[in-house]
Structure 1
């Protein structure tokens, strides 16, 4: 969902809420002998609002942590892969080119084949692991090798282990989502919080409309924001493939 669509939906929710206030005040006007507000309703509304704010905060923290973990995994994977590419310089020309070709092929597959799957939360399959295996095979020393090559081979093993770990973290992050229990709390809490605004007998319709529009619009925007961040590799707030494209021409 694009930013413009999010703003449009927020405005629609606010306008619908305002229309509901107008209809409510037309059908059930505040009488002269009616209390402007009741203490019990005010207390309950306050408690619901506080609890809902806690749920909103918990959801925002949860989805942002997932998004941050996904971004960190991508950066770590791309950085380790780039180090592998650079360290191959100590090998003979043929092997050096084989390592660099394998690293570039892996980066290209991640960016062009796996990224659209992660946006849609689809399984990534085994092809990426196969390409990583080919890269690992390309880093093995042919023959005894000199001391420098042997030292670099050990460092390459460590870097490929980092790529492996970061890839597992990226795959896990692509499948993570906000708990259905928290989603239920978000929706139910939003409905209750807005509904309680209709319990108060506010005589000035304009004031009532502005209050309900502001509250409902802000809640709608926050829920939509959580929905966007809940996609760790989404287009709007998700982690992107820039770390790979920065290091590799893919």
Structure 2
């Protein structure tokens, strides 16, 4: 099921549940149990809504920062590897060919082996890590014969060091999800916010039912989006290996 279709289903189910609850409360709950002072109730509901909006904002920050960081450092890693590949062309023929071959091998392993593991287990791939270590060892072992090769070797090492930092940050972000206490607070807060509307003693009219359905659907959609964003490399809105794939295509090694 596509993410768009899934979100529509979530909204439809939430709207149906919310409207159903409204109909049941308005039909079976005695009027004396419902709120009589609409002014005071409105002020209380505004406070509840503000607190819940703060929870939503905290949740959005908690899931978006690792997601954005993962995307940024995936692009940085691909860029650094491309630059290292270019500088490797200025080494001696044997060393340059070896470093270039290891760069493409690592990129292919990251795309084909590591990304599926990031999606499923939210951890890096040991074999891909070993390929990167082999690449860095080969770059360190390069011997130069003139100033141009020495400059190229240093630039290869600098770019690989930067790529290693980007890789470490990318992997550390893989398991960054919502703080454990926040999901129960968001779900409970949403339920309280919707349930509070039932206490206003709203008449069973179409506009009132539509209002309840809209609020419930939008609350469910917000939680659904946070859920899909929660882990940077998992679920529907995950960060993909496109920068590394584009790098391999540019290098002719896809």
Tell whether the structures are fold-level matches, with TM greater than 0.5: yes
- Structure 1 counterpart SS, 2:190: helix
Residues 132-174 of structure 1: CA deviation (Å, up to 9, x unaligned): 1211232245544211111111111111110110010011010
Per the alignment, residue 126 of structure 2 pairs with 126
Normalised by the size of structure 2, how large is the TM-score?
0.90
Per the alignment, residue 76 of structure 2 pairs with 76
Bigger mean CA offset, 3-12 vs 98-107: 3-12
Residues 81-124 of structure 1: CA deviation (Å, up to 9, x unaligned): 11111111112323222111100110111111111111224322
Per the alignment, residue 145 of structure 1 pairs with 145
Per the alignment, residue 158 of structure 2 pairs with 158
Per the alignment, residue 188 of structure 1 pairs with 188
Q: What value does the CA root-mean-square deviation take over the aligned residues? A: 2.0
- Displacement of 1:35 after TM fit? 6.8
1:86 and 2:116 equivalent?
A: no
1:241 and 2:241 equivalent?
A: yes
Which whole-Å CA distance do the structure 2 matches of 1:59 and 1:143 have between them?
Answer: 51
- Displacement of 1:235 after TM fit? 5.3
Per the alignment, residue 28 of structure 2 pairs with 27
Bigger mean CA offset, 17-26 vs 211-220: 17-26
Measured at CA, do residues 35 and 14 of structure 1 come closer, stay the same or move farther in structure 2, by a change above 3 Å?
closer
Per the alignment, residue 7 of structure 1 pairs with 8
1:213 and 2:223 equivalent?
A: no
Measured at CA, do residues 211 and 239 of structure 1 come closer, stay the same or move farther in structure 2, by a change above 3 Å?
same
- Asked if structure 2 preserves the Cα contact closer than 8 Å seen for 1:141 and 1:149, the reply is no
Per the alignment, residue 62 of structure 1 pairs with 62
Bigger mean CA offset, 167-176 vs 227-236: 227-236
- Structure 2 counterpart SS, 1:236: coil
- Displacement of 1:231 after TM fit? 2.0
Bigger mean CA offset, 49-58 vs 141-150: 141-150
Measured at CA, do residues 51 and 143 of structure 1 come closer, stay the same or move farther in structure 2, by a change above 3 Å?
closer
Measured at CA, do residues 55 and 170 of structure 1 come closer, stay the same or move farther in structure 2, by a change above 3 Å?
same
Which whole-Å CA distance do the structure 2 matches of 1:226 and 1:143 have between them?
Answer: 51
Normalised by the size of structure 1, how large is the TM-score?
0.92
Any unmatched runs of 5+ in structure 2? none
Which whole-Å CA distance do the structure 2 matches of 1:35 and 1:206 have between them?
Answer: 20
Per the alignment, residue 45 of structure 1 pairs with 45
- Displacement of 1:55 after TM fit? 1.0
- Displacement of 1:9 after TM fit? 1.3
